[in-house]
């Protein structure tokens, strides 16, 4: 069975393509390479032995999008990762984010409906919850104001898909809300290649440890948490990837209860920044150079998932621990240094 993956040369997209291939899918990859490179395709080939069809197109170009999807209208589904995802960048350039993330989504949905491609899996985010009052967060936790234009594009994207699903019952969609994806494929052939300075904690940790960055700043230790630092739900990128394969199989096998379902993808375990640093130091045998600094605007004290729906409905079980993720992130950082990526 064929599946089209947009944003497939990106971090989660490339890991998902590996998992799809390893579970018997033929994959077609679309990406505009604005935030990634074809290096990921070489890594996918090293791991799977497969060279996959790749189309470098901008999904904001409706004609180019329709041409490619028409050429693969026999696909059983589309997994849509392609989007800009930097929170600070979205604050600096909100219109870029609204235009890019939403126009591309509408173009894809228009083609899906015209071509009759039956299944759609959407890359959403825990950031749609905003500053949740109750923990752990379930899929029914009330959606609050988004903390950034990026998160708002995910909220609007979900609403677009919900209304699309009401209008076109022949199409079935799943919205996957990622918590904090971290780590890299155990082979170290693929991983996250940050553009410029990283925004997220784990690449910051590994770049500090390898000497690319001088020091890690822990953004606040005066939160109302067990050790004062923020708590998040860190989830290995390979566990996130496999959830996409399970979600597509769930739709292909028509196990879905409705034609638009939502799933949290988190480990269900809250981990503080200090605990994440301790885990890194333990597995890497590196002492991390960090200081405690001021809080970062927009950070919530704690957020972690209730992943019951994904485990019961999709049959998803996290295979990797925080230590596995930290070690794979460190091995990938060393590989990027070796390859001068």
Interface with ligand WQD (CB under 6 A): 85, 87, 125, 127, 151, 178, 180, 199-201, 204, 216-219, 230, 232, 273, 296, 299
**Distances in Å between the alpha carbon of 19 and those of 87, 140, 241, 244, 259?**
27, 29, 6, 9, 24
CB-wise, 281 or 299, nearer to ligand WQD?
299
Residue found under tokens 């996959």: 52
The residue ranges of DSSP E strands in 202-314, in sequence order, are 216-219, 231-232, 234-236, 260-265, 271-272, 290-293
Contacts with 314 (C-beta within 8 Å, 6 or more apart), sequence order = 243, 246, 247, 250, 263
Rounded Cα distance, 38 and 15, in Å: 14
Neighbours of 291 (CB within 10 A): 8
C-beta of 72 vs 232, nearer to ligand WQD = 232
The one catalytic residue among 11, 97, 129, 150: 150
CB 204, min distance to ligand WQD, A:
4
Does the annotation mark 320 as catalytic? no
Q: Is the peptide bond preceding residue 98 cis, with omega within 30 degrees of 0?
A: no
The first and second tokens of residue 158, run together, are: 């979900």
Strand-pair partners of 290: 216
Question: Could you please report the per-residue DSSP string of 3-22?
Answer: EEEETTTSHHHHHHHHHHHH
**Tally of CA atoms within 13 A in the half-sphere of 30 that contains its CB:** 25
* Distance from C-alpha of 46 to C-alpha of 66, rounded to nearest angstrom: 30
SS3 state at 96: helix
In the complex, minimum distance from the CB of residue 299 to ligand WQD, in angstroms, rounded to a whole number: 4
> In this complex, which beta carbon is closest to ligand WQD, that of residue 154 or of residue 242?
154
Residue 35 in contact with residue 8, Cβ under 8 Å?
A: no
Distance from C-alpha of 248 to C-alpha of 241, rounded to nearest angstrom: 11
Closer CB to ligand WQD, 155 or 249, in the complex: 155
Q: How far is CA 7 from the centre of its chain?
A: 10
Q: Cβ(44)–Cβ(14) under 8 Å?
A: yes
* Shortest distance (Å) from residue 325 CB to ligand WQD: 13
Q: Closest CB to ligand WQD belongs to which residue?
A: 230
Report the DSSP beta bridge partners of residue 78.
4, 120
Read off the tokens for 130: 């905003």
Active site residues: 150
């Amino acid at each position: 069975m064929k599946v089209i993956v947009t944003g497939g040369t990106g971090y989660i997209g490339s890991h998902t393509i590996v998992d799809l291939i390893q579970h018997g899918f033929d994959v077609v990859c679309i990406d505009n390479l604005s935030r990634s490179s074809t290096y990921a395709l070489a890594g996918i080939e090293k791991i799977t032995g497969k060279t996959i069809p790749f189309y470098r197109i901008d999904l904001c170009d409706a004609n180019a999008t329709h041409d490619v999807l028409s050429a693969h209208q026999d696909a059983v589904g589309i997994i849509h990762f392609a989007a800009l995802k930097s929170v600070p960048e979205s604050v600096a350039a909100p219109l870029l984010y609204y235009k890019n993330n939403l126009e591309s989504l509408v173009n894809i949905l228009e083609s899906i409906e015209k071509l009759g491609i039956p299944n759609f899996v959407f890359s959403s985010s825990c950031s749609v919850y905003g500053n949740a009052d109750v923990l752990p967060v379930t899929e029914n936790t009330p959606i609050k104001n988004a903390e950034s234009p990026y998160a708002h594009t995910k909220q609007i994207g979900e609403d677009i898909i919900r209304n699309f699903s009401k209008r076109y019952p022949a199409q079935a969609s799943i919205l996957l809300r990622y918590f904090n994806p971290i780590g890299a494929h155990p082979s170290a052939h693929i991983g996250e290649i940050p553009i410029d300075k990283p925004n997220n904690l784990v690449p910051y940790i590994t770049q500090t440890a390898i000497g690319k960055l001088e020091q890690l700043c822990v953004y606040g230790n005066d939160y109302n948490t067990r050790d004062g630092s923020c708590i998040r739900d860190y989830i290995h990128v390979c566990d996130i990837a496999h959830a996409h394969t399970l979600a597509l199989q769930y739709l292909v096998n028509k196990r879905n209860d409705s034609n638009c379902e939502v799933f949290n993808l988190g480990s269900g375990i809250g981990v503080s920044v200090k605990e994440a640093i301790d885990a890194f130091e333990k597995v890497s045998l590196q002492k991390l150079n960090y200081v405690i600094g001021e809080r970062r605007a927009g950070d919530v004290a704690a957020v972690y998932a209730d992943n019951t729906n994904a485990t019961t409905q999709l049959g998803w079980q996290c295979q990797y621990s925080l230590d596995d993720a930290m070690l794979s992130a460190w091995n990938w950082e060393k590989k990027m240094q070796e390859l001068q990526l």
